[in-house]
Chains A and B, each alone.
Chain A
């Protein structure tokens, strides 16, 4: 039908309307990467301010805004989207599918995230950013003046809806779209972690959705949820936030676990050690992740019984996590290890993440947490797990899957410089912060007095931040060089083991000419060992059904973006704000209506337009 000719249209239009998981993955990567740079810049400003005692580079409310936006941006607008970039780019290929279950919703999820992120960041130009921390505790958040917190609530609400949609999409994709023979216990570990992470998204994000509604109602419509003088209770916000928030940290780290598992196994030329234990540990971590939220609230005064239960539950998570650590080490053990950049990041990840886990268990000891809480010790902990864990994992994934996503391999020499500067910079930045915390330096303060002995370690920490900046710049430089000078590589540049390496480069629009037949774990490796050059097909070459592109997701998200503005200025904007709300929500509803009204059966790529036979990765 009409879409078969989409290629003739302008390429901007193609990007706005695409429902192809490969392109949506690239969109996620570019926008997530962009927000990562913004968040990184904010981090650098924070570190410059803290470089020496009583500094006046960035103080007071502006410091609070930069700090809040750093955390919020990194979690919601950088880490989550880059994870979704990999899920889009890799999961359908790893399970031998031609697309995700809901290509239209996939696009909608991306555009909601994108417009939500833009809305939040526009606050910088419209009277000031949110300033109550990424956790937005009430009543600080309900009483914060200006519109910053309104941007926070509405921007994240819109972005969060996109995330939820993405989560459901990947759950259904993984359950329903696996190629013949791809049983659950043959799925690559990255797909497994994407699966569990999607499940966590499904059950954690709706809590946050409600939290944001309550906060918005308190701020915009004068509700009293968190206003103690009217019978409200600010502790409810903390519960809701952390019922979402702790699963969220596992939403972030599980896909990194998956990436590390793929990379370590490929570059050790070995099957992942203890595959089924790895799967079980992933499921268990996901499950336990919902039962520990109150470890963020030990000092609230929930009582010794509640604190003990949550302390023990928290410590229990260290067990499945430890299982994973050992399995990675045993995978490397005796393997033919290749220290590619991806593998360097993976190997760097292992001890770094262990350190974050150890401080986690320390924090989980409730009585001791009265000392650590809200100090730099906590800052050190979560940066070890998020930067030392997640971000190193994301870098490993980028270097590993770049050839799959873009057809070219990132430069390995620059890559190694990238790794060492970032890795050393990371430890330089965050290791001293453990001790700063133990010495009593509180988090989120914009300065510290002279004469407390905090100066030198803060200085080292700032130097480390500059090293990480160099590492990031090298990475950006690497991307530019690669696209300018790099050569196309084969479809299987790493001697891969899983299905995403079984197809030609660049990946055809329809992914697999013939759906592959999966005969075991590490499906491609099994065929290689059997002396086959490519996968055994599960079907003859035939017509391929594909979904139609659509502009509706973009317009729908734009509608909610406009409505978001209306709500933000509801109390100050008068009639104009009301118009924005009505028009914006109207656009959203009309798009939903159109989606329901217009029959959309997709189209077929006909057999005569396809290659005669599947040539595998080396087409």
Chain B
């Protein structure tokens, strides 16, 4: 069968994302990539933990962090993980419309998270907590900003995927692409859970 051919319910394989060698390679390669990303964020977390009380000329963490807003952002991002799970479930059953619908919701949630984060950063800058106000500021914006950059990249990636494949069904060629996006999105969410705990909750207790 041609990898670009639309799959039907009759010939739909159990795991369309891993049905070809290319798919298998992408699947494994992406998991390994996420392993590397883990080290990347671990290094950022380590640096942040080393500098989180070195406020320099800026305000202290417990003074400025706004837990309600951050909590809202957390809920939004976790929900987007859930919607991407629904998308993958739909993918496994060849329900293209449902899958694309859930992914679209995921995209909207991702964008709202980004909006909240930008708002939050602007607020902090007004409070005097900036990238250059002290080591804490540098470490905070780098860690949280790297995560935000990942969300932004994910939104761009997902938009490309949705637009490119609009009107197309699932194929052995595009199923791995959808699937990998979902993996990426979960990873970005998990990182956020750590940020919420290590940066915000720990920052509040001092």
Enumerate chain A interface residues (CB-CB to B < 8 A).
101-102, 164, 168-169, 171-172, 175-177, 202-207, 209-211, 213-214, 217-218, 221-225, 227, 230-233, 236, 239-240, 243, 589, 593, 596-597, 599, 601
Contact A225–B25 (Cβ < 8 Å): no
CB pair A233–B164 under 8 Å, yes or no, is no
* Chain B residues in 8 Å Cβ range of A599: 4, 173
Q: Please, how many angstroms separate the alpha-carbon atoms of A224 and B134 in the complex?
A: 6
What count of chain B residues pass the 8 Å CB interface test? 41
Q: Identify the stretch in B52-60, B75-83, B112-120 within 8 Å (CB) of chain A at 4 or more residues.
A: B52-60
- Contact yes or no, A176 B21, CB < 8 A: yes
Q: How far is the CB of A371 from chain B (nearest CB, A)?
A: 30
Distance from A522 Cβ to chain B, minimum over Cβ atoms (Å): 26
CB pair A102–B25 under 8 Å, yes or no, is yes
Contact of B32 among A172, A207, A227, A589 (CB under 8 A): A172
Contacts of A213 in B (CB 8 A): 142
A203 with B135: CB separation less than 8 A: no
Chain B positions within 8 Å of A239 at CB level = 46
Say whether B54 contacts A172, CB under 8 Å: no
B1 on the interface (CB 8 Å rule)?
no
Q: Which of A168, A203, A211, A232 contacts B54 (CB 8 A)?
A: A232
Known contacts A210-B40, A599-B173: does B161 contact A233 (CB below 8 Å)?
A: no
**Given A172-B29, A596-B160, A210–B4 Cβ distance below 8 Å?**
no
B202 to chain A, nearest CB (A): 17
Instruction: Given A214-B142, A224-B134, A596-B161, decide whether A169 and B29 contact each other with a Cβ distance below 8 A.
Output: yes
- Give chain B nearest CB distance to A545 CB in angstroms: 9
State the majority secondary structure of interface residues on A.
helix
Residue of A202, A218, A589 with most partner-chain B CB within 10 A: A202
Which of B40, B134, B161 contacts A206, CB < 8 Å?
Answer: B40
Does B139 sit within 8 A of A, measured CB to CB? Answer: yes
* Interchain nearest-CB distance for B180 vs A (Å): 11
A214 to B136, CA, bound (A): 13
| B36 cross-chain contacts in A, Cβ below 8 A | 164, 168, 202-203, 205-206
Tell me if B74 is interfacial: C-beta within 8 Å of chain A.
Answer: no
> CB < 8 Å: which of B32, B33, B47, B57 contacts A225?
B47
B30 to chain A, nearest CB (A): 9
- A230, B54: Cα distance in complex, Å: 8
User: Closest CB of chain A to B107's CB: distance in Å?
Assistant: 15
A206 to B28, CA, bound (A): 18
Asked if A206 and B39 make an inter-chain contact with CB atoms under 8 angstroms apart, the answer reads: yes
Q: Is B111 an interface residue (CB 8 A)?
A: no
Residues of B at the A interface (CB closer than 8 Å) are: 2-4, 21, 24-25, 28-29, 32-33, 35-37, 39-40, 43-44, 46-47, 50-51, 54-57, 131-132, 134-139, 142, 156-157, 160-161, 164, 173, 177
Across the interface, do B3 and A217 meet the contact criterion of CB distance under 8 Å? no
- Contact residues in B for A176 (Cβ distance below 8 Å): 21, 24-25, 28
CB closest residue in chain A, given B160:
A596
Chain A hits for B51, CB < 8 A: 225, 231-233, 236
Q: Which residue of B lies closest to A221 (CB)?
A: B131
**Which residues of chain A are near B33, meaning CB under 8 Å?**
168
Contact A596:B157 (CB < 8 A) given known A223-B132, A240-B47: yes
> Does A175 lie within 8 Å of B138, measured CB to CB?
no
Q: Please state if B35 and A223 are interface contacts (CB–CB under 8 Å).
A: no
Interface-centre pick from A204, A218, A232 (highest chain B CB count, 10 A):
A232
Which 5 A-B residue pairings sit nearest by Cβ, starting from the closest? A231-B54, A223-B138, A231-B135, A206-B40, A210-B43
- A539 nearest CB across to chain B (Å): 14
| Chain B CB within 10 A, most for which of A169, A171, A231 | A231
Q: What residue of chain A has the Cβ atom nearest to residue B136's Cβ?
A: A231
Interface centre among B37, B47, B54, B136 (most CB of A within 10 A): B47
Distance of B186 from chain A, by nearest CB (Å)? 19
Q: List 30 A-B contacts (CB under 8 A).
A: A168-B36, A169-B29, A171-B28, A171-B32, A172-B32, A176-B21, A176-B24, A177-B25, A202-B35, A203-B36, A203-B39, A206-B37, A206-B39, A206-B43, A207-B40, A213-B142, A214-B142, A217-B142, A222-B132, A223-B132, A224-B56, A224-B134, A225-B135, A231-B56, A232-B51, A232-B138, A233-B135, A236-B51, A240-B47, A601-B4
Contacts of B43 in A (CB 8 A): 206-207, 210-211, 240, 243
B190 to chain A, nearest CB (A): 16
In the complex, how many angstroms separate the beta carbon of A200 from the nearest chain B beta carbon? 11
Inter-chain contact B142/A223, CB cutoff 8 Å: yes
* In the bound complex, CA of A100 to CA of B35 (Å): 20
Q: How many Å lie between the Cα of A233 and that of B53 in the bound state?
A: 12
- Give the docked Cα–Cα distance between A318 and B98 (Å): 57
Cα distance A243–B131 in the bound complex, in angstroms: 26
A224 to B55, CA, bound (A): 10
The distance in angstroms between the C-alpha atoms of A102 and B30, with both chains bound, is: 12
Q: Which of B28, B35, B137 is A224 in contact with, Cβ under 8 Å?
A: B137
Known pairs A202-B39, A206-B40, A225-B135. 10 more at Cβ < 8 A? A164-B36, A172-B25, A203-B36, A206-B43, A214-B47, A217-B142, A232-B54, A232-B138, A589-B156, A593-B160
Complex formed: what's the CA distance from A515 to B147 in Å?
A: 44
Are B50 and A224 neighbours in the complex by a CB distance under 8 Å? Answer: no
Judging by beta carbons under 8 Å apart, are A227 and B135 in contact?
A: yes
Q: Which residues of A contact B2 (CB under 8 A)?
A: 601
Assuming the A-B contacts A240-B47, A599-B173, are A225 and B28 also in contact, with contact meaning beta carbons closer than 8 angstroms in the complex? Answer: no
Q: Which residues of A contact B157 (CB under 8 A)?
A: 596
Find chain B residues with CB under 8 A from A205 CB: 36
- Complex interface: chain B residues within 8 A of A206 (CB): 36-37, 39-40, 43
Q: Which residues of A contact B56 (CB under 8 A)?
A: 224, 230-231
Least CB distance, A538 to chain B, in whole angstroms: 15
Scoring A205, A224, A596 by chain B CB atoms within 10 A of each residue's CB, the highest score goes to A224
Tell me if B4 and A231 are in contact (CB < 8 A).
no
State the CA gap A601–B2 with chains docked (Å): 9
Nearest B residue (CB) for A173:
B25
Q: What A residues does B136 contact at CB under 8 A?
A: 231
In the bound assembly, the distance between CA atoms of A177 and B24 in angstroms comes to 10
Smallest beta-carbon distance B39→chain A, Å: 4
Assembled-state Cα–Cα distance A171/B29 (Å): 8
| Closest residue of A by beta carbon distance from B168 | A599
Complex: A453 Cα to B157 Cα, angstroms: 65
Question: Which residues does chain B contribute within 8 Å of A231, judged by CB atoms?
Answer: 51, 54-56, 134-136
Q: Give Cα distance in the complex from A593 to B131, angstroms.
A: 30
